[in-house]
Amino acid sequence: MERRRVAVLLGGRSGEHEVSIVSARSVMAALDRERWEVVPIGITTRGEWLTPGETATALDAGARAFDGPAHPFLMSGEALEALASCDVAFPLVHGTYGEDGRLQGLLEMADIPYAGAGVAASAIGMDKALMKALFREAGIPVADYAVVRAWEVRDDADAARTYIEETIGYPCFVKPANGGSSVGITHVRSREDLGQAWAAAFAYDDKAVVETAIQGQEVECSVLGNEYPEVSIAGEIVPDRDFYDYDSKYSGASTTQLNIPAAIAPEVAERVRELALRMYQAMGCEGYARVDFFVANGTEVIANEVNTIPGFTSISMYPKLWEASGLPYRDLLTRILELAFERHERRVRP
């Protein structure tokens, strides 16, 4: 069997740079080397591109971040030549400039098949305000939310605070509209917490989503496929702290539990899977995505969000859910890349 070259894109400019590297390490270690020749291409915290050799050297040295001298994107000749030589790309750049459609648009323009959601679905999936508006329009239940801009807080913080109190109330969560891995999220219990919450959210985006705090179970499903997607069994996250924040997700000291299957009634699990499919298709997702929910009072299923490039670390829920559903990690990665080729072939037809 002839091996195909797969470019694994990792790092990036967002606050999830380190998570991206951990995900990519896990994927590269698990890919079937009889089928795939791995070409790692790192992106620094400043958005500069590394050659495959520079990326491999940094990974071998145990780098947690790519922040040394590199090549500005438009001058990254060797890195771009390596990308162009590959049969398919596996973008694992979490967050802005990677998960938001920009990298996907580059790959579309270069006519390179790539894993995961396309440009539009990636952009919607990155912007929580647009995503929630889309779900509400599609009749999918979401928590009450409001959108606040940085300039609104800067011009009249009291008016912004009053708006939140009149529309959402406390407790609530303030989060950057464009972000992931719980970076910049604050649990707000009273008006005294809002100043710090605004600062945390606006450090990553000029638009914040404020949503009511849901008391309930955090439940997730993994979805896989293009025209005919399939949904995994549901799993449940039991955080080891107030909410499922960055440290709870990625700290080695975290005692967060991932329960598979989720401790919910069969009919509730079926509702979760049904809504996961509807959310995936409403956004126009292809390839793969993880879909997150809250289950309140044991029965009410509330949509949270769709993650178009979910974590692929050894402790990440996306691959664990498929493994529990009968699809091993290595076979899952191969299927994701096969879906990339299938979509590309469909789209290039006259």
Q: What is the pLDDT of residues 55-83, one digit of tens each?
A: 999 999 999 999 877 888 888 999 999 99
Q: What is the pLDDT of residues 137-150, one digit of tens each?
A: 999 999 999 999 99
Q: Which residues of 203-232 are buried (b: 16+ CB within 10 A; e: fewer)?
A: ebbebbbbbbbbebbbbbbbbbbeeebebb
CATH number at residue 200: 3.30.1490.20
Task: Express as a percent the part of the chain with pLDDT over 90.
Answer: 82
pLDDT of residue 241: 52
301 and 229 within one domain: yes
CATH number at residue 24: 3.40.50.20
187 and 135 within one domain: no
pLDDT of residue 204: 87
Average pLDDT over residues 238-243: 66
pLDDT at 104 over 60: yes
pLDDT at 251 over 70: no
In terms of residue numbers, what domain contains 249? 125-141+215-347
68 and 183 within one domain: no
156 and 277 within one domain: no
135 and 46 within one domain: no
223 and 341 within one domain: yes
pLDDT of residue 349: 59
- 181 in a structural domain: yes
CATH number at residue 227: 3.30.470.20
pTM value is 0.91
Average pLDDT over residues 253-274: 91
**pLDDT winner (highest mean) among 72-81, 108-117, 189-198, 238-247:** 108-117
- 24 in a structural domain: yes
pLDDT of residue 180: 58
- 120 in a structural domain: no
Q: What is the pLDDT of residues 6-54, one digit of tens each?
A: 999 999 998 889 999 999 999 999 999 999 999 999 999 999 999 999 9
pLDDT at 102 over 60: yes
Rounded distance between C-alpha atoms, residue 89 and residue 84, angstroms: 10
Using pLDDT thresholds of 50, 70 and 90, give the confidence band for residue 249. very low
pLDDT at 96 over 60: yes
133 and 279 within one domain: yes
37 and 185 within one domain: no
Rounded distance between C-alpha atoms, residue 312 and residue 148, angstroms: 31
- 32 in a structural domain: yes
- Token digits of residue 67: 């922040």
253 and 137 within one domain: yes
pLDDT of residue 92: 97
Average pLDDT over the chain, rounded to whole?
Answer: 92
Using pLDDT thresholds of 50, 70 and 90, give the confidence band for residue 244. very low
pLDDT of residue 248: 47
Q: What is the pLDDT of residues 300-327, one digit of tens each?
A: 999 999 999 999 987 899 999 999 999 9
- 74 in a structural domain: yes
32 and 65 within one domain: yes
pLDDT of residue 181: 52
201 and 222 within one domain: no
pLDDT at 242 over 70: no
16 and 60 within one domain: yes
pLDDT of residue 245: 45
- 119 in a structural domain: no
- 43 in a structural domain: yes
More confident residue, 345 or 246: 345
CB 295 within 8 A of CB 264: yes
Using pLDDT thresholds of 50, 70 and 90, give the confidence band for residue 178. confident
Last residue of a domain, one of 174, 192, 212: 212
- 256 in a structural domain: yes
Question: How many structural domains is the chain composed of?
Answer: 3
